Amino acid sequence: MLTTHPFDDDKLREECGVFGVHGAEGASAIVALGLHALQHRGQEAAGITSYDGKDFHTHRAMGHVAGNFDRDDVIRALGGDVACGHVRYSTTGETALRNVQPLYADLSSGGFAIAHNGNISNAATLRRELVRRGSIFQSTSDTEVIIHLVATSNYRTLLDRFIDALKRVEGAYSLICMTREGMIACRDPLGIRPLVMGRLGESVIFASETVALDVVGADFIRSVDPGELIVVTSGNEIRSHRPFGDHHPRPCIFEHVYFSRPDSIVDGTSIYSVRKAIGAQLAIENPVQADLVIPVPDSGVPAAIGYAQQSGIPFELGIIRSHYVGRTFIQPGDKVRHLGVKLKHNANRALIQGKSIVLIDDSIVRGTTSLKIVQMMRDAGAREVHMRIASPPTRHSCFYGVDTPEREKLLAHKLDIEGMRNFIHADSLDFVSIDGLYKALGEQQRADIRPQYCDACFTGDYPTRLTDLDDHDTGDQLALLAERVV
């Protein structure tokens, strides 16, 4: 059977990445390259929609960008100089082609395509209202709620109808939309999910991360501001709208910890540099006597470098990762399933044997990966295994577009740190503090009132209403919220 790799079911995962191009010859080929760079943000499905001035064209498929969009016939069929694309994970909801984005609809004003990164936390409430009024849904995605809100708005222009729709939704969104008139890009008023703008020659590009601009050779212009709506029309004319008033931004702090690629720039700061600073802060707060600092690859590498530099303990690659193992593989039986752990990570036994080591990872979610890694180190002859985590304990679920297990499955919700240490069988276990994380990001500490980031997964301080979660009387609403497929 096909199943998730043992190391892939114990990470917080971004649910998607978006990329759009306006005014470039062969726009769909550029989008495909951009999606390659964003593949880490969603590896279950990908899609591209283009517009050639007359017709919209869409290709959506399960699986990676490579294999689906590296064929000439597919790209040729996606003609036009305007295109947008999407890579996605599903969560506990349905993995099906009908949920793959961009989603497309023929509205009264013409074709409308949308690619969404985030999660609408009142989607179930809105969906129930729309269905009652006669809307017919084709997917289980919360993104389709936005399309129906646009379609049923009483405003005259499409832009006003789109703004009207967004004023009714709660939660997190970075959106790239295509119409016959051009492209619209926007972020939610708190800027929880990222979105940047660049230029490739005269064409305008939007992407979830700056690394996607780098890959296609585009110049970074700036981040799309929280609550900003940017319209690009013929001739690549850019107009900025701010229809949501002033809000205190709360971008997702986990972009810095794990989600974004290390070579991306977020809020003007190098992700790689921030992760090294987190590692250094972790060493200041939680020192230990050891022979080696070893990262859990690949996400723990920058923090481990920072920890090693701050502590003076040598950095070594004590775990070797195979980059030729996909997310799924055949596991016929428990014995082979257990051995499959070593397909992706294997201990560097000659280095580890007889040593006291510090393992650095970005987070602990369910704890199953940490348990396996610690045991792998002991099997390789490690004398002591100390675990250090480059984020605070993850005690709360995310409702803003991150694939988080139910809170009851989070190890830090069930156990204190000593209990977690016992669970993973480490000699010691420590996490960077919430104030330490903010220090690594250049802040003095976390503000008690109006903190600078969304850190709800650590603190439980959710920056928006969670309407669907609060409505405990409607099972269907809670089920749709739990799906969180975007």
List active site positions.
Answer: 16
Contact residues for 164 (Cβ-Cβ < 8 A; gap 6+): 149, 150, 153, 154, 155
3-class SS string, the chain = CEEECCCCCCCCEECEEEEEEECCCCHHHHHHHHHHHCHHHCCCEEEEEEECCCCEEEEEEECCCCCCCCCHHHHHHCCCCEEEEEEECCCCCCCCHHHCCCEEEEECCEEEEEEEEEEECCHHHHHHHHHHCCCCCCCCCCHHHHHHHHHHCCCCCHHHHHHHHHCCCCEEEEEEEECCCEEEEEECCCCCCCCEEEEECCEEEEECCHHHHHHHCCEEEEECCCCCEEEEEHHHEEEEECCCCCCCCCCECHHHHHHCCCCCEECCEEHHHHHHHHHHHHHHHCCCCCCEEEECCCCCHHHHHHHHHHHCCCECCCEEECCCCCCEEECCCHHHHHHCHHHHEEECHHHHCCCEEEEEECCCCCCHHHHHHHHHHHHCCCCEEEEEECCCCCCCCCCCCEECCCHHHCHHHHCCHHHHHHHHCCCEEEECCHHHHHHHCCCCCCCCCCCCCECHHHHCCCCCCCHHHHCCCCHHHHHHHHHCCC
Among 167, 127, 132, CA closest to 144: 127
Q: Which residues contact 323 (CB under 8 A, 6 or more apart)?
A: none
CA distance linking residue 185 with residue 197, whole number of Å: 9
Query: What CA–CA distance (Å, rounded) separates 71 from 114?
Result: 24
Whether the link from the prior residue into 102 is cis, omega within 30° of 0, is yes
